[in-house]
Amino acid sequence: MRHPIDILILSNGPGELATWVKPMVQALRQQLGDDRGQVRLSVVLSPCANASGQEAAIARRYPEVDRVQEAEHFFPFLLWGKTAEAWDWRSHGVVLFLGGDQFFPVVISRRLGYRSVIYAEWEARWYRWIDRFGVMREDIRSRVPQKYAHKFTVVGDLMAEAGRSEDGENRAGEGREAEEVGAKSEETASPHCQAEANYIPHPSALIGLLPGSKPTKLALGVPLCLAVAEQVAAVRPGTRFVIPVAPSLTLTTLAMYANSKENAAINELGWAAAELVLPTLPDERPFLKTAAGLRVELWTEAPAYKLLSQCSLCLTTVGANTAELGALAVPMLVLIPLQQIDRIRTWDGIPGLLANLPGIGGRVAAMMTRLALRRLGRLAWPNIWANAEIVPELAGDLQTDAITAIVLDLLDHPEKLKEMQTNLRHVRGQGGAAAKLARVVVETLANDEAIEA
């Protein structure tokens, strides 16, 4: 590039940051270099209904990123072009859309005099005013008027990029992460399991528990996963369990959803509670300890791809977790408990307003969630990619006995886990979506300089 450039990345939620922004900033640095005097990467966050409030902190952990602005300052920037810290902007640059409303890059790129690139997962909008699109699928390009087709490049699924490089090399042998969790394998068993410590009828397995990061998911997901873990450990002594703690969560917050005094769902549904135990020695890790004595390790390093790659199976909620596990080819069981369906009120726009009305809000929320489940069909990303159920999705009034039976059946039949893993590797398709989209950005910048010349 002849001129120093700014790349302004627009994003919003934690899923977009983990599965879109992270691989993209890595790909941009690989193609454009690490000279911050020549290429500067800025992330501006917009409000998101699913945000945890930790998005800016997560983005700042990415070493490729130079500056981050929190979502609370977005609309003043959109309206008047001024950031909270009065950032300067170089004369040449591009606005890259990786989450939010596709109208935002139209406004911001015009204000800054920059080119614009949108990553479109399902639908492309504003193609008259946007310079380039990187799209997930060919059918997105086929739906736009032919005179705009030259703006579109099929790059593939950015979600399938998450953790791809970790697959294979780490599953071949025990990594440091699995060894550290496994070092306490006898401690992770319940008292019943410890009584039979000298007799382990099955090879030990590491099971990852991913209950999510949003309150509505955690309230049910944490006690449900703990209850299933207790039942599995009682049948399979030596089985180990670990929760990779979402970067947006503190240990105290996570533990709150395992506390029966703070999470009413535990007593209402009869699921497991646990207390947080913090380490007393430098080489120890925190864990949740259930009433039955089961210890579930808490893994705070992120991303936890190397750890997840060692898991025989993961129990997960829907969302970006399923894309990351799919990219790693880790077998999974997707749990969507709906026992408290009236509490799911994270809808956008008018549906969100109705769902949060006093009195009738709970009934509205329950109705909309049921309708959405019928309409959406498959919810786990690998199943969406395959257009078939290659990983089990369990939705409804979930019962721990039924889930435990499925987990035990999978662990007792490793060929089923192997088949799931093979299917996951197949459906994630060819890699390189981030690199292809980065090339679109580079071409857009080069075209900008060519026009100026």
**Distance between CA atoms of 122 and 384, rounded to whole angstroms?**
12
**Distance between CA atoms of 316 and 293, rounded to whole angstroms?**
23
Q: Which residue, among 222, 210, 177, 235, has the nearest Cα to 407 in the 3D structure?
A: 235
pLDDT value, residue 356: 54
**Distance between CA atoms of 89 and 113, rounded to whole angstroms?**
10
Give the chain's domains with CATH numbers: 5-156+432-452 (3.40.50), 165-427 (3.40.50.2000)
pTM of the complete model: 0.67
pLDDT digits (tens, 9 = 90+) for 232-260: 999 998 999 999 998 888 999 999 999 99
pLDDT value, residue 320: 81
Q: Is 195 exposed, middle or buried (0-12, 13-18, 19+ CB in 10 A)?
A: exposed
pLDDT digits (tens, 9 = 90+) for 62-85: 999 999 999 999 999 998 889 999
**Distance between CA atoms of 73 and 65, rounded to whole angstroms?**
18
Contact 117, 134 (CB under 8 A): yes
Report how far apart, in Å, the C-alpha atoms of 128 and of each of 96, 132, 331, 433 are: 16, 10, 42, 24
**Distance between CA atoms of 134 and 116, rounded to whole angstroms?**
11
User: What distance lies between CA 149 and its chain's CA centroid?
Assistant: 31
pLDDT value, residue 413: 95
**Distance between CA atoms of 122 and 252, rounded to whole angstroms?**
37
pLDDT value, residue 202: 46
Q: Which amino acid is at 212?
A: G
pLDDT value, residue 138: 85
pLDDT value, residue 282: 82
Contact 393, 379 (CB under 8 A): yes
- Main-chain phi, psi angles of 295, to 5 degrees: -110, 125
In tens digits, the chain (453 residues) has pLDDT values of 678 999 999 998 887 888 899 999 999 999 999 999 999 999 999 988 767 788 899 899 999 999 999 999 999 999 888 999 999 999 999 999 999 899 999 999 999 999 999 999 888 889 889 999 999 888 888 888 889 999 999 998 887 776 555 554 444 333 444 445 544 434 333 333 333 333 333 457 999 999 988 888 899 999 999 999 999 999 998 999 999 998 888 999 999 999 999 999 999 999 999 999 998 888 889 999 999 999 999 999 877 888 999 999 999 998 888 988 988 899 999 998 887 554 544 444 445 455 455 665 555 555 655 555 554 567 888 998 888 999 999 988 899 999 999 999 999 999 999 999 999 988 876 678 999 999 999 999 987 655 554
Helices 400-412 and 215-235: crossing angle in degrees, nearest 10, is 60
pLDDT value, residue 317: 92
